[in-house]
Structure 1
Amino acid sequence: MTDRRVIVIATPHARYDGLERQLRAVPRLEVVRLRQKSELSAQALSAIAPQYVFLPHWSWIIPAEVHERFECVVFHMTDLPFGRGGSPLQNLIVRGIETTQLSALRCTRELDAGPIYLKKPLSLNGAAEEIFLRAARLMKDMILEIVEQSIRPVDQQGEPVIFRRRRPEDGDLSGLARLEQVHDHIRMLDADGYPPAFLQVGDLRLEFRRSRLSHDGVDADVRITLSPRKETP
């Protein structure tokens, strides 16, 4: 890069603090971090004047006035157009997929349908938090490649496959029949901010983390709490 360039990294999640630090260390690259919903506004971005707005994991809807006026790049953990929609990591793992593509795409009005800048292979081994951190390391290289090479995105090709956003109750382990399924359900929800896999036994709720699969069983950490009693009418 010959000129100083300004980019925005917008995410509230601490797991991307390392990504921010690494990008700040790049010469002639100025990085502005946004963490709050209110900070991602057209007015605020106009004052910053970024070349790109990168959103590794933004927890809110991106306003049209933002993505229409600024080049907003989001990251999606599928080989788009396969896997548009919610809960990509969990939907991939329940399908038995072990390796995916991390797609960098331009944000548009239609969810996950924007043109693609580039894709990088991503392993789905390990717990969800490990996978997110692995993806963050990939994002650093992808961001620099987009900025330094001024990559222009190209339209997605192929028939979309839509993922349904998974709900907290989908973490119930009681309907599973194989140990591999139990292990996968625990690990795919084992990340900060995600409701863990669980079993409900009477008034007791058992929540599971740190799953280890062996040939004859699954070992995991468990937290047991009392479920709130329902009031009778």
Structure 2
Amino acid sequence: MKITVICSNPKHPVYKYLENWMQQNSQTYDIALLTTVKDIKMAGDILFLLSCSEIVRKSIRNLFSYSLVLHASDLPEGKGWSPHIWDVVNGKNTLTLSLLNAEDRVDSGDIWQKKIIKLQGNELYDEINHKLFKAELELMSWACENIENAIATPQKSDVASYHRKRTPEDSKLDVNQSIISQFNLLRVCDPQRFPAYIEINNQRYNIRLEKSDDK
């Protein structure tokens, strides 16, 4: 089976997970991990799109038997950008990961499988990522092993909801609000790419939240 995986940014935290998955499955599948559709050289069986910022046209998708997207929401709710971040910020401790067909309309494809990810409410950014990325790899493996004998389910368009794209300004804390009221925002801020910050007297201060071993 020929598998192609596209993740647009090699600095994205999921990329190393994808590299490990490729190494672990290299004896079973012929796997190519790419950062752009321009590097696709031949047809294959499954195309996986994870954190892919490109629009993958039908002409590319037709090169594969299945073109699949992993989206971290309970579709059709939570279409759009960074759904699991919005969910945590809004206080949810249960995330849903959907495996669906890639289509021209973003996040509109039939759904093959869903996976529930439970949080305790104290996980920080990297810990949330670990649980999410682990679930993504599990769904990728499921697809490779089962998709030819599975049936996808169409989405119900009447219950759809959408998230806008987050910006660095979404990591700004309100200095007049309590820490506890903004704790979920602190938890999900990427300390490297989108750190939490405050502004006082026209000066920006980045804030990093770390767990302490002290009880």
1:74-118, CA deviations, whole angstroms, 9 ceiling, x for partnerless residues? Answer: 111111111111121221122211111111111111111111110
**Superposition TM-score, scaled by structure 2 size:** 0.82
The offset of 1:178, in angstroms, is: 3.7
The offset of 1:175, in angstroms, is: 6.4
Tell me how large the CA RMSD over aligned residues is. Answer: 2.3
Are 2:186 and 1:186 aligned? yes
Structure 2 gap segments, 5+ residues each: none
Match 1:66 to one of 60, 67, 80: 60
Partner of 2:131: 134
Partner of 1:229: none
Name the structure with the higher strand share.
1
Q: Distance in 2 between matches of 1:74 and 1:176?
A: 40
Partner of 1:153: 152
Which runs of structure 2 are paired with 1:41-80 in the superposition (5 Å)? 41=38, 44-45=39-40, 47-70=41-64, 71-80=66-75
**Identity within the alignment, %:** 25
Structure 1 gap segments, 5+ residues each: 214-233
Are the aligned partners of 2:43 and 2:63 in contact in 1 as well (CA < 8 Å)?
A: no
Q: Distance in 2 between matches of 1:159 and 1:102?
A: 17
**Superposition TM-score, scaled by structure 1 size:** 0.76
Aligned residues: 202
Which runs of structure 2 are paired with 1:1-233 in the superposition (5 Å)? 5-11=1-7, 12=10, 13-26=12-25, 27-35=27-35, 37=36, 40-41=37-38, 44-45=39-40, 47-70=41-64, 71-124=66-119, 125=121, 126-150=123-147, 151-157=150-156, 159-174=159-174, 177-190=177-190, 192-193=192-193, 195-211=194-210
Q: Which moved more, 1:74-83 or 1:5-14?
A: 5-14
Q: Which moved more, 1:14-23 or 1:156-165?
A: 14-23
Q: Distance in 2 between matches of 1:162 and 1:33?
A: 29
Structure number with greater CO (CA < 8 Å, separation at least 6) is 2
Are the aligned partners of 1:19 and 1:137 in contact in 2 as well (CA < 8 Å)?
A: no
For the pair shown, which has the larger CA radius of gyration, 1 or 2? 1
